């Protein structure tokens, strides 16, 4: 099999027959992450800000399982139950990224699992081996001829 399932040791339990993330070569596809507290496996209380924060924490847990960071995310899709929550979601979402930001789509949906207000899926590229190779081949900056 060419694919590998990725599950965060400290992430929430799956709510259905799917993998939280699938890795194929350098590509990692994160399933839509819900605002589920990994300790209780229930939706976090509060509004869109708290739910977006928990979704991002669940994404981080999967990335950390692979030694990756949010800078490895190249595309996200945000599903909102109410597009009126866009600004509040966007403020929390933006706090997790630096430029260049991932490409993103955001759509309003009729409903989300468990009654969530937000769900976010990601496409991630694992560039760690390329970064390591580049750093290994880099010449010393203090002298010439290393």
Q: Which residues are catalytic?
A: 106
Tokens 């909102």 — which residue?
A: 80
For 118, phi then psi, to 5°, come to -150, 145
- Are 28 and 125 in contact by the 8 Å Cβ rule? The answer is yes
Neighbours of 43 (CB within 10 A): 20
Tokens 């010439």 — which residue?
A: 144
Beta bridge partners of 125: 27
Neighbours of 129 (CB within 10 A): 9
Give Cβ neighbours of residue 106 (< 8 Å, ≥ 6 apart): 77, 78, 79, 80, 83, 86
What is the Cα–Cα distance from 27 to 43, expressed in whole angstroms? 29
């Amino acid at each position: 099999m060419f694919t590998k399932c990725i599950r965060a040791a400290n992430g929430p339990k799956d709510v259905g027959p799917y993998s939280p993330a699938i890795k194929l070569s350098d590509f990692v596809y994160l399933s839509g992450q819900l605002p589920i507290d990994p300790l209780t496996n229930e939706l976090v209380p509060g509004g869109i800000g708290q739910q977006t924060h928990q979704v991002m924490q669940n994404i981080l847990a999967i990335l950390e399982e692979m030694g990756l960071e949010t800078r490895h995310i190249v595309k996200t899709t945000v599903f909102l139950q109410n597009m009126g929550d866009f600004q509040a979601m966007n403020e929390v979402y933006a706090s997790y990224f630096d430029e260049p930001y991932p490409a993103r789509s955001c759509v309003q949906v009729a409903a989300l699992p468990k009654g969530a207000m937000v769900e976010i899926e990601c496409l991630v590229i694992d560039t760690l081996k390329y970064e390591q190779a580049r750093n290994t081949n880099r010449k010393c900056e203090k002298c010439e001829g290393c």
